[in-house]
Amino acid sequence: MRSALIALALPLVLAVGAASAEAAGQRLPAPVGSVVHQGDLVITGADGSVGITFRDNSLLSVGPDSVLSIDRFVFNSTTHLGAFESSLKQGTLAVVSGKLAKQSPEAMKVKTPAAILGVRGTEFLVRTGPSTN
């Protein structure tokens, strides 16, 4: 299944401090140039942060002590249609949306333990504590 998602790979453009990606229960360090896939978790430590550029030019910045799941990313580079869904399980996330949200604002969603955020602008910040479940 993972090899089928290779076209959806997203390169990490910045990784500072403790940063890792978890796929299929296996956690590996995430240095600059690492690739994350749909379904992966991006995890940062107390001194960590990660920047990710998506294929539609959306920019995500994951702050310290964060856990972000890339739930779904589908993007047609010709029509700029698709879907982007992520889950911030804890920590901070800053986003500058790209072509996908500009074409179809309802296509970008960020889930937190308390809410589902629909993106209607181009820049936003989300902060959440750890889940109590």
Residue 130 placed within a domain: no
Q: Are 17 and 50 in contact (CB under 8 A)?
A: no
Q: How many domains does the chain have?
A: 1
Residue 99 placed within a domain: yes
Q: Provide the domain limits for residue 100.
A: 2-123
Residue 20 DSSP label: E
Residue 75 placed within a domain: yes
Say whether pLDDT at 62 is over 90.
yes
Residue 133 placed within a domain: no
pTM of the model: 0.83
Q: Are 81 and 121 in contact (CB under 8 A)?
A: no
Residue 45 placed within a domain: yes
Q: Which residue has the higher pLDDT, 131 or 71?
A: 71
Residue 63 placed within a domain: yes
pLDDT confidence of residue 120: 65
Q: What are phi and psi of 80, to 5 degrees?
A: 65, 20
Say whether pLDDT at 94 is over 70.
yes
- What is the mean predicted confidence (pLDDT) over 54-63? 91
Residue 129 placed within a domain: no
Q: Are 38 and 61 in contact (CB under 8 A)?
A: no
Say whether pLDDT at 3 is over 60.
no
Residue 47 placed within a domain: yes
Close Cβ partners of 132 (under 8 Å, ≥ 6 residues apart): 113
- What is the mean predicted confidence (pLDDT) over 87-100? 93
Percent of the chain with pLDDT over 70: 86
